[in-house]
Chains A and B, each alone.
Chain A
Amino acid sequence: EAQVTQNPRYLITVTGKKLTVTCSQNMNHEYMSWYRQDPGLGLRQIYYSMNVEVTDKGDVPEGYKVSRKEKRNFPLILESPSPNQTSLYFCASRSPRVDTGELFFGEGSRLTVL
């Protein structure tokens, strides 16, 4: 089954404790991205990756890091989480088909930073 898998789905942590949210896709997509979703602000892009070892900032990259060492994986790293990073996070990959830019989303990771 084609899917994007994120872990953990739910996490409560404390300020300053480094954490990593993993994302893996099994569709051989080159493009992957991370979003955060907050009430009233919608989905905002954090980082994206066009291919292995190619990453770039989205609209809200501050406080986040990413890496893309393998095509299937695109982890999101919070080196020193703060309460304003409490949010719902989605990883997505994109079909390479030229007739669609469809994003395939993971199930989401709800992060609470105390």
Chain B
Amino acid sequence: QKEVEQNSGPLSVPEGAIASLNCTYSDRGSQSFFWYRQYSGKSPELIMSIYSNGDKEDGRFTAQLNKASQYVSLLIRDSQPSDSATYLCAVQSNTGNQFYFGTGTSLTVIP
């Protein structure tokens, strides 16, 4: 079983819509969760981190964490063509030393 699983997509949404990205993880001891965005040919960049159950909002982005269900999600409101990228879910091990990444979900926002 993979440590972190994501739907690979591709996911296509029209401009202005809400994009919903999902991630599940296997290690119940994990405490720290991240969403990175990776444009084609570029390095990943952090867009959201979340550490406790519930929602965390930052601009158009909302991260949701449910530790009981071992589930993390990312909502992108008012999606823009510039949001078209691959989104990587990452989970930090409970020792803090290792990071496990999902395979990423490819998002395309159609103008």
Which A residues lie at the B interface, using CB under 8 A?
31, 33, 35, 40-45, 48, 50, 56, 58-59, 90, 100-103, 105-108
15 cross-chain CB contacts under 8 A: A35-B101, A40-B103, A42-B102, A42-B103, A45-B98, A50-B97, A101-B92, A103-B36, A103-B44, A103-B46, A105-B45, A106-B43, A107-B42, A108-B42, A108-B43
Closest chain B CB from A39 CB (angstroms): 9
Say yes or no: A56 contacts B97, CB within 8 Å.
yes
Q: A42-B103, A108-B42 are in contact. List 14 more A-B contacts (CB 8 A).
A: A33-B99, A35-B101, A40-B8, A45-B99, A50-B97, A90-B44, A101-B34, A101-B92, A102-B46, A103-B44, A103-B90, A105-B43, A107-B43, A108-B43
